[in-house]
Amino acid sequence: MNKRVYQIVRDKRHWEGPLEPAESQVEQRIGSKGWYTRGYLPHYDKPGTIQMVTFRLADAMPGILRHQWQALFKIENSRLRQRRIEEYMDRGMGECHLRNPEVAAAVESVLLAADGKHYRLAAWVLMPNHVHALVELWDLPLGRLLNVWKGASAHKANMILRRQGRFWQAEYWDCYIRDEAHFRKALKYIELNPVKAMLARYAFEWPFSSANPKWQWSGCDRYRGAHLLNAGCWRFEPDRE
């Protein structure tokens, strides 16, 4: 147990102050947690917040290769730890079921099924063994949303692959978006992931990503979450930052 993290959560709850009665009723009804922790990082789950989430296939970090990745989880700095873990995942460990176009299309269809109804997807990418998404929460708390996504997509994927058993890891990583600059940085990170992993030269070439032209509106405007951006001014270059 990280006592400092629990203190941070208590402080943030105090600074936020009491909710308005109507707001409190909504959050109680849908089960939002506000500021909370799962023991190692503070999290913020609230309607209207934008969250960056990452979830991995069950074998993305194979037990037989534990000697390669176990030390990554012991890195104390949370941002550095997550970056190193994602760099490891980009190496494409495990069976990488999301390389199968039929499986990837099925998973993507689940992510988009309730987009605009229960949440707004701002960006996403399906990598060979993990998924990144930038999502604006509406009337589903984050934990429940992830359960819906993973449960429905695992069922579809296992049917396609004619397999049984766990498809996704139970855990997921999340980070709430603080402001516009953070939003743009997260969006760029997500859509450039295939480029940084050397799976595509340009972000828009990757078929299962919000950067793919099939998801752009006609003309140059493109809607991403609560942000209407001009695609002509937002063309990603194949940088390796």
Mean pLDDT of 96-106: 97
Distance CA 132, CA 150 (A): 13
Q: Nearest to residue 31, comparing CAs of 116, 114, 145?
A: 145
pLDDT over 50 (residue 96): yes
Percent of the chain at pLDDT exceeding 70: 61
**Helix ranges, 114-167 (H):** 142-161
Percent of the chain at pLDDT exceeding 90: 37
Mean pLDDT of 75-98: 75
Q: What is the pLDDT of residue 3?
A: 62
Binning the chain into helix, strand and coil, the percentages to the nearest 5 are: 45, 20, 35
Q: What is the pLDDT of residue 74?
A: 61
Q: Taking the complete model, does pTM exceed 0.75, yes or no?
A: no
In this predicted structure, which of 11-20, 75-84, 109-118, 128-137 has the lowest mean pLDDT?
11-20
Residue 151 φ/ψ, nearest 5 degrees: -65, -50
**How does 62-76 read in b/e, with b if 16+ C-beta sit within 10 Å?**
eeeeeeebeebeeee
Q: What is the pLDDT of residue 178?
A: 83
Chain segment 21-74, per-residue pLDDT in tens? 655 555 565 556 555 555 555 556 777 889 999 999 998 865 445 555 556 666
Using 50, 70 and 90 to split pLDDT, how confident is the model at 158?
very high
Beta-carbon contacts of residue 135 (< 8 Å; ≥ 6 apart): 50, 51, 53, 119, 120, 121, 122, 145, 225
Burial of 237: CB neighbours in 10 Å, binned 0-12, 13-18, 19+: exposed
Mean pLDDT of 161-182: 89
Distance CA 200, CA 146 (A): 27
Chain segment 199-222, per-residue pLDDT in tens? 999 999 999 999 998 876 544 444
**Domain ranges across the chain:** 1-43, 48-233
48-233 is classed in which CATH architecture? 2-Layer Sandwich (3.30)
